Amino acid sequence: MSFATVPDLILEPMIRNALLEDLGSYGDVTTRAVIPAGATYSAKLNAREDAFVSGMQVAALTFRLVDPTLEITTHIADGQPCRKGDVLMTINGKAASILSGERVALNYAGRLTGIATKTASFVAEAKGTNARVTCTRKTTPNMRLVEKLAVLHGGGHNHRYSLSDAIMIKDNHIAAAGGVRQVLEATKQHASHMMAVEIEVDRLDQLQEVLEVGGASVVLLDNMSNDLLRKAVEIVNGQIKTEASGNVKLDRIASIAATGVDYISSGALTHSARTVDLGLDF
């Protein structure tokens, strides 16, 4: 499967800020001190464990921002599996430029490959069902775009990107507004016809009220047991989409998917992913 890339123009400010953070106020003083100005090298970005790759576009752009003359070849693209020892990318050109961009490129690539790999493990557990595995807004500040891309690279799907993408009525909204009926009636009055509406419930009587009042296109079934999820799916009977969320761990994915829900969302895909070990070797 191939994946569309985000325009570099969108990614550039985030990566530029990371480079400025790493280079400090005076640049890479070690490299400037010990590497001859004209020295060139060919470096390899290697996988040190099996994984699903993400962050290659980001890593390549990192090196290009440091030095546009670097020649970068990606050998295993974002969204593809790799094995321990595989060469993911080669970077040819000035050794000083490669060294100055190394850490930022590896930080991004390792983090994003970890998210893609974790996502792939969740998706594998839901195989054979119609359930889609999605992420949440539990992302690293200023890295949401690339972390959500990494979820796609692992075979998952994206939830909303920001608070402005959809109306998502959570338990605190319901409590503050006075109840399920009140929030749904208010939404009907104020929501654009182009705006999707999702509402969270944690009891079946709330679900019944959602269906009775109408106005929602998705219901989030929060922290429900598998038995309750199965009953909820039966009650909904295809009228709106169903999403299971809360306490969603790898060992529960298969059983949750078997209940018939349409979506399974998990913040763990992004907030609990382990950074994969990648290395840049000269």
The pair of structure tokens assigned to 131 is 């359930």
User: Is 103 designated active site?
Assistant: yes
Residue of 16, 44, 48, 103 marked catalytic: 103
β 71-74/87-94 pair status: antiparallel
β 40-47/278-281 pair status: antiparallel
CA angle 146, 219, 226 (to 5 degrees): 95
Cα 106 to its chain centre, rounded Å, is 17
Residue 121 main-chain phi, psi, to 5 deg: -70, -35
User: Is 222 designated active site?
Assistant: yes
Task: Determine the Cα–Cα distance for residues 77 and 48; give it in Å rounded to an integer.
Answer: 16
Residue of 78, 102, 200, 243 marked catalytic: 200
User: Is 170 designated active site?
Assistant: yes
Which is nearest to 49 in space by CA: 139, 133, 109, 126?
Answer: 109
CA angle 135, 167, 133 (to 5 degrees): 20
Residue of 44, 48, 137, 138 marked catalytic: 138
* Cβ atoms 146, 140 nearer than 8 A: no
Residue of 12, 171, 222, 277 marked catalytic: 222
Which residues form the catalytic set?
103, 138, 170, 200, 222
